[in-house]
């Protein structure tokens, strides 16, 4: 078998191609971006399938659903909070069911390396009542993704692959298998399955409920849910899932005897295997990356009489942040190791920051100066590199919640009495989720100022294409009904500073809706263009 | 055989390029490897690190436990100190002495060197000077890889091969510059070690 060096994300992408993918869709977001990056790289190498960045995750999920309707295999991938955006089609795709194989890949970010929360997507899979795979390593990421397509077609449901940052962004070698061809025939879904009128939806939901037993049977017999019993030692039983398994195996070498364990990598829960493990152990330790999902299931409200259950809920492991081999070693009662010490030396932190020469920096400087004349102002902002404008030396923004929220929150803020109420949003974030709230603001002629930082790319995640940039962005704004007299374009450069301050000041003073486009290309992208 | 490396630097200094070369050389040498890297927000001028593990047997954890790293390989001296807690008592520190100052409270560089020199095994390399000598300031990462190669359980020819693979799309001249940077770093480490 051929071995290739891949990121966890790339292992999923390659597996999808080998499983006969017809189309993959995504919106950039750490730690999931490299799935689509890799699909695009393969497709540009001459493979005949679709690999597209979409305007947002909901659109991506629906496009994938359309492919599935047509009987072909589709994959949609995004970060955990992207699934919030796509939650509507995602949950309902479990009701329509999948025709061609439909795989939903979600990359969670425990520890919030690059995210605003650390929500656990396994709850979504449970909520939708579908199968979920949680690979622990690169080989499983590849194997499970291939299998997920087959299972999606066998059970007629979408299947989730749940990744976490440490696997998504870890590199290792993977043995790959012979590719399968795409589904060649167009096979349309039936209207009575896919038109979720109540009469159909009730029937479809019943079918999904009836299918749960098959899913449970599958998870029970699935070799990825592996039970290892140590008959000689009944003191401890360990339940591990996903990459927690790696930390457990890494440090368990230090124990006098290896405890019994159940590795869970496929959901719904393998209840019989769980009962077997719990039945023979005096104490249970649950180790999982993310929320205490399995632990709560096992514990229930009553606990298990006579058994001690340890994990995140009793403080044996931290409730927030990523697991580490050290945290798992501690939970297993192993001594803490330390390395070299740097003593009294004060280690200065080095947080991320805007690049030298970044256009956002010039916009923030001009905005800060213009706002000096307006006490009581507030700048609502959004998700992207410019969120770093919250930090010194800019201290320019006060909020960052979710994609597009700057525009809607600025409208709400204005309606609550904040003046000037300002929204600062990037071009791609605007295309993703800023257009609809701006339409709201146009219809109310809300007294607010929206600044769109148009650097022409999705910069934070590595420079993916933006679908709302340049002149088309201006035409879009005009089309939404933004007053041309209060639609301004500035070029954020140090030499334009005074002029930009004056334009921003005028629009802040105007009592109605203004939109200012601060247009200058991301210097990272500019640099790459020059180098290539 | 097991060899754990903490790779450190500042976003944009090219530590993932170092990792690419080591990963592929390890695979060519028939070793298992796992390499956890940092993408996204931290890459914007912030501290970045990568855990790189090589072994002749299967590797489980993507992360290196505290006190178990055999080497800290760092393209920036302050970043070297950030991960001391991971190093084994007899582990090697291979560090650039060229500071990357993009924060207001950057400590006096002499204090940083003094701390690094407390490690029983350490090599401080003038990466900036050697990269310039090789022909490109951007090649400081390959200088450091060259210096580390003195300690790494990998064949030099395989490291050189994947430097070639890494830079081939940028043309032969860039490949030669980076190979020269590697050689200069290697020589410098031999002299100092």
Residue range A38-66: mean pLDDT, rounded: 96
**Coil, helix or strand at residue A322:** coil
Closest-CA distance, A248 to chain B, in angstroms, reads 8
Contact call for residues A63 and A32 (beta carbons, < 8 A):
no
* pLDDT for res B42: 62
**Which of B27, B69, B81 is opposite residue A342, by nearest beta carbon?**
B81
β-pairing, A102-108 vs A131-133, is unpaired
| Interchain contact, A172 vs B84, CB within 8 Å | no
Q: How many angstroms separate the CA atoms of B181 and B177, rounded?
A: 6
Percent of chain A predicted with pLDDT > 70: 100
Q: Up-side HSE of residue A470: CA atoms within 13 Å toward CB?
A: 8
Those residues with Cβ within 8 angstroms of residue B186's Cβ, 6 or more apart along the chain or in another chain: B146, B147, B149, B150, B156
Task: List chain A domain ranges.
Answer: 2-221, 226-331, 359-530
Q: How many angstroms separate the CA atoms of A101 and B79, rounded?
A: 46
* pLDDT for res A530: 85
| Interchain contact, A33 vs B39, CB within 8 Å | yes
* pLDDT for res B40: 63
Instruction: Give pLDDT tens digits for A133-172.
Output: 999 999 999 999 999 999 999 999 999 999 999 999 999 9
Nearest CA in chain A to B33: A172
| Nearest alpha carbon to residue A84 among A480, A519, A433 | A433
Instruction: Give pLDDT tens digits for B23-57.
Output: 999 999 999 999 998 776 666 788 999 999 999 99
A360 and chain B in contact, CB less than 8 A: no
* pLDDT for res B111: 94
Superfamily of domain A2-221: Thiamin diphosphate (ThDP)-binding fold, Pyr/PP domains (3.40.50.970)
| Interchain contact, A339 vs B38, CB within 8 Å | no
Confidence of residue A509 (pLDDT cuts 50, 70, 90): very high
Contact call for residues A158 and A98 (beta carbons, < 8 A):
yes
Q: Which residues of chain B have pLDDT under 50?
A: none
Size of interface A-B (CB pairs under 8 A): 153
Closest-CA distance, B188 to chain A, in angstroms, reads 25
| Interchain contact, B60 vs A246, CB within 8 Å | yes
pTM for the complete prediction?
0.96
Angle between the N-to-C axes of helices A33-44 and A8-18, in degrees from 0 to 180, rounded to the nearest 10: 50
* pLDDT for res A528: 85
The ipTM assigned to this model is 0.93
- Dihedral sign from CA coordinates of B182, B188, B191, B192: negative
| The CATH fold of domain A359-530 | Rossmann fold (3.40.50)
Domain boundaries, position B135: 2-192
Q: How many angstroms separate the CA atoms of A112 and A109, rounded?
A: 5
Q: How many angstroms separate the CA atoms of A146 and A123, rounded?
A: 22
β-pairing, B2-10 vs B32-36, is unpaired
Instruction: Give pLDDT tens digits for A358-415.
Output: 999 999 999 999 999 999 999 999 999 999 999 999 999 999 999 999 999 999 999 9
* pLDDT for res A88: 98
Chain A from 182 to 221: CB within 8 A of any B CB: none
Mean pLDDT of chain A: 96
Q: How many angstroms separate the CA atoms of A356 and A388, rounded?
A: 13
Both tokens of A115, joined, read: 């995210």
Residue range A292-302: mean pLDDT, rounded: 96
Contact call for residues A283 and A71 (beta carbons, < 8 A):
no
* pLDDT for res B41: 64
What letter would DSSP give residue A193?
H
Q: What are phi and psi of A216, to 5 degrees?
A: -65, -45
Residue range A223-251: mean pLDDT, rounded: 97
**What is the count of structural domains for chain B?**
1
Contact call for residues A9 and A107 (beta carbons, < 8 A):
yes
**Which of B47, B66, B89 is opposite residue A350, by nearest beta carbon?**
B47
For domain A226-331, give its CATH number from 3.20.20.120, 2.160.10.10, 3.40.50.970, 3.40.50.920: 3.40.50.920
CA distances from A404 to A38, A229, A458 (A): 27, 50, 14
Q: Do domains A2-221 and A226-331 have the same CATH topology?
A: yes
Q: Up-side HSE of residue B67: CA atoms within 13 Å toward CB?
A: 9
| Nearest alpha carbon to residue A31 among A130, A126, A124, A141 | A141
Confidence of residue A298 (pLDDT cuts 50, 70, 90): very high
**Coil, helix or strand at residue A446:** coil
| Interchain contact, A166 vs B118, CB within 8 Å | no
Chain A from 82 to 121: CB within 8 A of any B CB: 113-114
**Residue A238 CB-density burial (10 A; 0-12 exposed, 13-18 middle, 19+ buried):** buried
| Interchain contact, B62 vs A170, CB within 8 Å | yes
């Amino acid at each position: 078998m051929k071995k290739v060096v891949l990121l966890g994300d790339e292992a999923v992408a390659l597996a999808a191609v080998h499983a006969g993918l017809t189309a993959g869709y995504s919106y950039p977001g750490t730690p999931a971006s490299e799935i689509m990056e890799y699909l695009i790289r393969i497709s540009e190498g001459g493979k005949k399938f679709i690999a597209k960045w979409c305007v947002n995750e909901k659109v991506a999920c629906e496009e994938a659903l359309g492919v599935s309707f047509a009987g072909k295999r589709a994959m949609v991938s995004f970060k955990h909070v992207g699934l919030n955006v796509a939650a509507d089609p995602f949950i309902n795709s479990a009701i329509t069911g999948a025709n061609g194989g439909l795989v939903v890949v979600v990359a969670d970010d425990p520890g919030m390396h690059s995210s605003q929360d650390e929500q656990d997507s396994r709850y979504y899979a449970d909520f939708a009542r579908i199968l979920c795979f949680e690979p622990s390593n690169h080989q499983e990421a590849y194997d499970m993704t291939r299998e997920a397509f087959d299972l999606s077609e066998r059970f007629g449901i979408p299947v989730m692959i749940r990744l976490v940052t440490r696997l998504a962004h870890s590199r290792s070698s993977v043995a790959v298998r012979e590719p399968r061809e795409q589904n060649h025939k167009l096979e349309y879904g039936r209207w009575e399955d896919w038109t979720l009128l109540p009469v159909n939806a009730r029937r479809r939901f019943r079918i999904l409920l009836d299918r749960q037993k098959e899913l449970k049977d599958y998870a029970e017999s699935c070799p990825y849910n592996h039970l290892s019993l140590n008959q000689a030692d009944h003191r401890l039983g360990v339940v591990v899932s996903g990459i927690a398994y790696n930390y457990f195996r890494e440090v368990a070498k230090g124990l006098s005897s290896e405890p019994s364990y159940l590795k869970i990598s496929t959901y719904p829960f393998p209840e019989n295997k769980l009962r077997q493990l719990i039945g023979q152990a005096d104490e249970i330790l649950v180790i999982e990356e993310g929320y205490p999902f399995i632990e709560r299931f096992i514990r229930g409200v009553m606990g298990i009489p006579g058994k001690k259950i340890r994990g995140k809920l009793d403080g044996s492991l931290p409730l927030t942040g990523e697991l580490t081999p050290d945290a798992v070693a501690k939970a297993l009662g192993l001594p803490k190791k330390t390395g070299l010490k740097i003593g009294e030396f004060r280690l200065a932190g080095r947080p991320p920051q805007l690049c030298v020469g970044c256009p956002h920096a010039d916009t923030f400087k001009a905005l800060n100066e213009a706002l000096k004349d307006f006490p009581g102002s507030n700048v609502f902002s959004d998700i992207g590199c410019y969120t770093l404008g919250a930090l010194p030396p800019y201290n320019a923004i006060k909020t960052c919640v979710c994609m597009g929220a700057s525009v809607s929150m600025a409208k709400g803020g204005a309606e609550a009495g904040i003046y000037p109420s300002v929204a600062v949003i990037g071009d791609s974030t605007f295309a993703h989720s800023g257009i609809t709230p701006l339409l709201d603001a146009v219809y109310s002629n809300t007294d607010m100022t929206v600044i769109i930082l148009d650097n022409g790319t999705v910069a934070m995640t590595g420079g993916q294409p933006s679908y709302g940039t340049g002149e088309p962005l201006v035409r879009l704004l005009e089309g939404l009904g933004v007053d041309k007299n209060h639609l301004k374009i500035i070029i954020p450069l140090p030499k334009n500073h005074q002029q930009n301050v004056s334009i921003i000041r005028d629009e802040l003073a105007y009592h109605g809706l203004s939109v200012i486009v601060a247009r200058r290309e991301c210097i990272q992208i500019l640099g790459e263009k020059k180098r290539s | 055989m097991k060899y754990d490396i903490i790779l450190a630097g500042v976003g944009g200094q090219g530590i993932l390029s170092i990792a690419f070369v080591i990963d592929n050389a390890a695979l060519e040498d028939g070793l298992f490897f796992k390499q956890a890297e940092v993408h996204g927000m931290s890459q914007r001028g912030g501290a970045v690190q990568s855990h790189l593990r090589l072994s002749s047997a299967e590797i489980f954890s993507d992360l290196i436990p505290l006190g178990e790293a055999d080497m800290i390989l760092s393209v920036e001296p302050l970043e070297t100190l950030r991960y001391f807690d991971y190093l084994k008592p007899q582990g090697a520190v291979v560090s650039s002495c060229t500071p990357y100052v993009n924060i207001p409270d950057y400590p006096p560089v002499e204090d940083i060197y003094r701390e690094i020199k407390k490690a029983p095994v350490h090599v401080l390399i003038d990466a900036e000077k050697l990269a310039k000598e090789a022909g490109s300031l951007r090649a400081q990462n390959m200088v450091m890889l060259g210096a580390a190669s003195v300690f790494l359980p990998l064949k030099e020819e395989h490291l050189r091969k994947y430097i070639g693979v890494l830079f081939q799309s940028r043309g032969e001249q860039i490949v030669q510059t980076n190979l020269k940077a590697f050689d200069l770093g290697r020589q410098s480490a031999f002299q100092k070690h």
